[in-house]
């Protein structure tokens, strides 16, 4: 039967005998592999023995995780404000969950002495006991120091003891911003409360 040229392209081409023999030879040369059923990786990991870690729940700012018991949280919290008079204003809050100090004054005095040793031209302007807005006992220190010969920085620190944890808040100002935004920042620091 003669098929018009247009329809020939739709027809399945016939394989010639020589090409069929080549395919058979190639298949015979290849080693036969046993048909094994592959298990997905998920199943393999599910069968692996699970190790039970000793953990405690760590609560961060908007998240939690299972923290290994012998790990310590050394988070520094930084609340940033405006860049004014050439410096980035902020409050840095550090927490010491297991302090090696007997009381708040000893903790504050150790930090004050460390500041005086480490900062260039550091001068202690004020240190005394104070209270937070909610009446919690606190201790404060105010320093001035020169990070460069041209810039004088004032640093205000407030120390708080709640149960066994010690907190240190630090804010820095220039001479100008100590007067302009300093009082608002101090009120913010004194509003500190723990959720313990």
Nearest partner of 95 among 163, 154, 186, judged by Cα: 163
How far is Cα 193 from Cα 76, in angstroms, rounded to an integer?
A: 16
Please give the CATH superfamily to which domain 74-190 belongs: Mog1/PsbP, alpha/beta/alpha sandwich (3.40.1000.10)
Q: Over range 14-37, report the average pLDDT.
A: 56
97-147 pLDDT per residue, tens: 888 898 999 999 999 999 999 987 899 999 999 999 999 999 999 999 998
Residue 161 is predicted with a pLDDT of 95
Percent of the residues in the chain that have a pLDDT greater than 70, as a whole number: 74
Q: Give 36 or 140, the one with higher predicted confidence.
A: 140
**Cα 126 to Cα 107, 144, 182, distances in angstroms:** 16, 10, 15
- pTM comes to 0.69
**Cα 127 to Cα 45, 120, 121, distances in angstroms:** 59, 19, 17
Q: Give 7 or 82, the one with higher predicted confidence.
A: 82
Placement of tokens 């930084």 in the chain: 78
> What are the residue ranges spanned by the domains of the chain?
74-190
């Amino acid at each position: 039967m003669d098929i018009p040229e247009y329809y020939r392209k739709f027809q399945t081409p016939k394989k010639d005998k020589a090409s069929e023999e080549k395919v058979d030879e190639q298949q015979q040369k290849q080693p036969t592999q046993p048909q094994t059923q592959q298990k997905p990786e998920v199943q393999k990991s599910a069968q692996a023995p699970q190790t039970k870690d000793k953990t405690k729940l760590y609560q961060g700012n908007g998240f939690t995780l299972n923290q290994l018991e012998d790990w310590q949280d050394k988070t520094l919290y930084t609340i940033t404000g405006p860049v004014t008079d050439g410096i980035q204003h902020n409050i840095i809050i550090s927490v010491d969950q297991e302090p090696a100090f007997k009381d708040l004054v000893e903790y504050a005095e150790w930090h004050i002495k460390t500041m005086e040793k480490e900062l260039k031209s550091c001068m202690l302007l004020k240190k005394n006991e104070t209270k937070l807005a909610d009446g919690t006992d606190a201790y404060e220190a105010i320093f001035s120091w020169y990070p460069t010969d041209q810039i004088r920085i004032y640093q205000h620190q407030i120390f708080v003891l709640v149960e066994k944890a010690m907190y240190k808040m630090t804010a820095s100002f220039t001479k100008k911003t100590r007067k302009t935004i300093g009082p608002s920042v101090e009120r913010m620091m004194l509003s500190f409360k723990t959720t313990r």
